[in-house]
Amino acid sequence: MKEPQRIFTNEEQQLLEEILMHRRDVRGNHFLDTPISQEAIDKIIDAGLTAPSVGFSQPWEFVLIKDQETKQAIKETFSEETERAAMQFADEKQREYIKLKLEGILESPLNMAVFYKPKGEPVLGQTSMPNMGKYSVVCAIQNMWLMARSLNIGMGWVSILDPEKVKQTLGAPQENQLIGYLCFGYTDMFYNQPELELKKWDRRKLTKEVVIHEKYTG
């Protein structure tokens, strides 16, 4: 006998929409030092494990980091890369960039490095588009981000890092590729809009600017 499929209600759909709309990138100046329970950590990881992956390859590995010395080593590469990145912006934008608090490596109770681990053999669906494996890992990160938000736990994605230095600090295998370095923790506030939108770093694009019907013209 076929098992009945799960059908969601309008209320459940609306709840998912609320979680999606209120997901935020949390910075270090908003993290609290409140510990995250193992139950909550397990829920976040389980959400990542349920993500779609090309050819059911599940090409992800998650390194959980609580040790302050390890965090400090990661923070050092962030500081180096931040100084380098600031020079790429023009004067006014550069001043705005320097004022931004862009990470919470030391402040968040839990850091997580998420790696793409190649399978070492052909993967169904990945032969024509080899980056599909990495995209699968990004799906896992998004799943964890949404689960964390549903648990009222903040997450920040730190991208201003030297991936090779992070790998060296964590003793990651050579073939692994760093996809995301994440900071998790309870927060003193979730903004109702993205922080960079509120600070007018850039504007939100309109639907009509990004949706193309049928094909590109021009």
Max CA-CA distance within the chain?
A: 68
Position 13 in a domain: no
Position 209 in a domain: no
Position 110 in a domain: yes
**pTM, to two decimals:** 0.93
Position 82 in a domain: yes
Residue 21, token pair as written in the block: 């709309």
Domain span holding position 196: 28-130+175-201
Q: What angle in degrees, to the nearest 10, is found between the helix axes of 10-21 and 132-150? A: 100
Mean pLDDT of 71-84: 91
Burial 77-101 (b: 16+ CB within 10 A, else e): bbeebbeeeeeeeeeeeeeebeeee
Q: Comparing C-alpha atoms, which of 103, 118, 210 is closest to residue 158?
A: 103
Position 92 in a domain: yes
Position 3 in a domain: no
Check residue 35 and give its pLDDT. 97
Position 104 in a domain: yes
Instruction: Supply φ then ψ for residue 160, to 5 degrees.
Output: -95, 70
pLDDT confidence band for 218 (50 / 70 / 90): confident
Of 94-103, 158-167, 168-177, 186-195, give the lowest mean pLDDT range.
94-103
10-29 pLDDT tens trace: 999 999 999 999 999 998 88
Mean pLDDT of 189-218: 91
**How many distinct structural domains can be found in the chain?**
1
Of the chain, the percentage scoring pLDDT greater than 70 comes to 94
Residue 47: CATH number of its domain: 3.40.109.10
The whole-angstrom separation of Cα 158 and Cα 179 is: 10
201 has pLDDT over 70: yes
Position 22 in a domain: no
pLDDT confidence band for 91 (50 / 70 / 90): low
Check residue 99 and give its pLDDT. 65
